[in-house]
Amino acid sequence: MDLPEHYRGFYRFNTYFALVMLVVGGVAGLVYVELAKPLDFDKAPPGVHLETIYRLAILHGHCFLVGAVVPMVWVLILQVGRWLDCRPVGAGALRWSLWTYIPGAVSILGLLGYKGWHYTNRVLAYGPDADFNLIHRELFGGSRMWSGVCHGIGHTIATIGLIIFTVAVIRSLRTRERRGA
């Protein structure tokens, strides 16, 4: 069972990306801990404390899930298809799935980081009586349009990548590869 060359490139890219995102996830965890340190319960009582830091906390996990686990699961799914003698997924489908999912995923992680940093710094500035409606309105320079554009584009692009990959793999799983006589 030979591995198509475009699979090699896809596997290599996803492996490098996953490794980088493991490091980014670790750094995100350190940033979360360091940004949350000054938020003692005097500056941010329990409800305010959680509301302030949870975006940074989930950034840490999302880096691992979105950035490392999903790409490596894609590699595993493609390899299982090879083990089952299914027709290879086309190079174009793999290329499109990567170049839509990766920018979308990175933008989603960037949004979480930005929002976590913003909330944490604003609560530190405002203190225990922080107005979360005001803090939320201050995001994206107070522009609801830019907030919607950034969230909509990032999530849509990542979802398109997931859909392209899923449809291509399902088509592949339905057909067996023809072997030479």
Q: Which residues pair with 176 in a beta bridge?
A: 86
Q: Count CB-CB contacts under 10 A for residue 40.
A: 10
Distance CA 86, CA 79 (A): 10
Distance CA 50, CA 20 (A): 28
pLDDT at 156 (0 to 100): 95
pLDDT at 99 (0 to 100): 95
pLDDT at 178 (0 to 100): 63
What pTM did the predictor assign? 0.86
Distance CA 68, CA 10 (A): 14
User: Which secondary structure element, helix H or strand E, spans residue 22, and what is its range?
Assistant: helix 5-36
Per-residue pLDDT of the chain (181 residues; tens, 9 = 90+): 689 999 999 999 999 999 999 999 999 999 888 888 888 887 778 888 888 888 888 999 999 999 999 999 999 999 999 999 999 999 999 999 999 999 999 999 999 999 999 988 888 888 778 888 888 889 998 898 998 898 899 999 999 999 999 999 999 999 876 654 3
pLDDT at 17 (0 to 100): 97
Tell the residue number behind the tokens 């940074």, with chain if given: 56
User: Tokens in use for 99?
Assistant: 């170049």
pLDDT at 84 (0 to 100): 92
User: Tokens in use for 122?
Assistant: 């604003």
